[in-house]
Copies of this chain bind each other. A is one copy, B any other.
Amino acid sequence: MFNWVDGQPADAVSLKDRGLAYGDGLFETIAVKAGQPLLLERHLQRLEAGCGRLAIVADHALIRSELLVFAATLGDGILKLILTRGDGLRGYGINAGAPARRILQGSPPATYPEAHGSSGIRLFPCATRLSEQPLLAGLKHLNRLEQVIARAEWHDADHAEGLMLDMSGRVIEGVFSNLFLVDDGHLLTADLSRCGVAGVMRAELLARAEASGITTRVVDISLEQLQQADEVFVCNSVYGIWPVLGCGPMSWSAGPLTRKLQGIVRTLLGV
């Protein structure tokens, strides 16, 4: 596999990089199929929105063209883009003259068990809660210690993902996925204005569901609502959709709406 830093082959980055120093940057993990970066427009939209929120100045046309060339070279696999604020001086103050740094990393296709999608998975009920920070909520930024700690809570293969709540006990998302539930035919997913990552697949599913006449609702979700849901699934832009069969004492079955959306995603991701 191969990597680029600012368009050049490289396997290392400057020690002055603010991504390293402060997690001062954003990332996107993009599935690449037959040389094409999937859901590219949504990834670029989120990245640009993140740059706007964090005041990171980047050349988005250059990023787009670089992603396309990189993906074509990669063929099939995972393309991770890290966009940092570039080199820093000492201290938190922003060096307005430093350009953003583009780090592209290629890796082989994901190798999750096929049964995760076909049969479904169990979620580990993480004790780690998501802190509430509206200024960063929704962004796929590089400050991910909460996810690191949460992912370290379980080691067994019986749990393919973890469930994360916020500090107030609201149901938010998985460690590396967004979460949906089906309630009386409606598709629900958590409001991410206080915490959480607004996933590209989540956005795509909300749009596709609406287009198919399915009512969608982005709301606060309680554990009780989750427990009473007719169907539950997790999603991201790499693996698509996994039905959720259980989490701690709660259990569900893979239902018809989950299966319908899996069909749509299969076309999208070519899996």
Contact = CB atoms under 8 A, between A and B. Distances in A.
Contacts of A146: 133, 135-136
A129 B135 CA distance: 9
Contact of A92 (B23, B129, B148): B148
A260 interface: no
Given A131-B131, A143-B23, A90 B107 contact: yes
Interface in A107-155: 107, 110, 128-129, 131-133, 135-136, 141-152
A126 to B, nearest CB: 11
A145 B12 contact: no
A134 to B, nearest CB: 9
A218 interface: no
Interface stretch (A3-11, A209-217, A227-235, A263-271): A3-11
A55 interface: yes
Nearest to A105: B15
A193 B90 CA distance: 27
Contacts of A80: 90
A15 B24 contact: no
The 3 A-B pairs with the shortest beta carbon distances in the complex, nearest first, are: A23-B23, A143-B143, A12-B12
A144 B145 CA distance: 11
A7 to B, nearest CB: 14
Given A92-B175, A152-B55, A103 B24 contact: no
A151 B82 contact: no
Given A14-B12, A92-B176, A145 B136 contact: yes
B135 A132 contact: no
21 contacts: A11-B15, A12-B12, A13-B15, A15-B105, A21-B27, A22-B143, A23-B143, A23-B145, A24-B144, A55-B152, A78-B90, A80-B90, A90-B107, A92-B144, A92-B150, A92-B151, A92-B175, A92-B176, A93-B151, A141-B145, A143-B144
Nearest to A19: B20
A17 interface: yes
